[in-house]
Amino acid sequence: MNTSTTVFTVLLAAIALVSAMGKLRKMPPVMESMTHVGVKPNQIPVLAYLEIAGAVGLLIGIAYPLLAFVSAGALMLYFLGAVIAHLRVKDKFKDFAPALFLAVLFGYLSYLVPTGF
C-alpha cells in the first residue's frame, strides 16, 4: 500500500470509529436517527461493534492488504444498509447523504487496495 492509500485508510478507519462511538455513547441525534429507521435499541451496540471491527480490520490491513480489502468492502455494505434503511422510511436525501458518501468512500478504498494506488 502506498502512502496516500495508507493515509486514506487511516482516515476512513477513524471515521468508522467516530461513528461507532456516537452509537456507544448514545448521542441523542444518533439514537433518534437509528430509532427513526427502525433499529431496535439492543441492536445499536452490535452495529457499533461491527464498525469498530471494520476499522480495526482496516488498520491491520495496512500490513495485510487482503484484510483491508475485505474490511473496506464490509464497511461499504454496512453503510449501504444504512442508506437502504433510510430509503425504506422515505427519508430525504439530506438524511442519508452521509451514509451514501461513506459507502462510496469505502467502496473506493476497496478498489484502491488491490490495485496498490
| Exposure string over 98-117, b if 16+ CB within 10 A, otherwise e | bbbebbebbbebbebbeeee
| pLDDT in the model for residue 102 | 97
Nearest Cα residue to 19 out of 69, 94, 75: 75
Q: How many residues does the chain have?
A: 117
Nearest Cα residue to 78 out of 53, 56, 59: 53
Does pTM surpass 0.75?
yes
Q: What is the pLDDT of residues 66-90, one digit of tens each?
A: 999 999 999 999 999 999 999 999 9
Q: How confident is the model at residue 113 (pLDDT cuts 50, 70, 90)?
A: confident
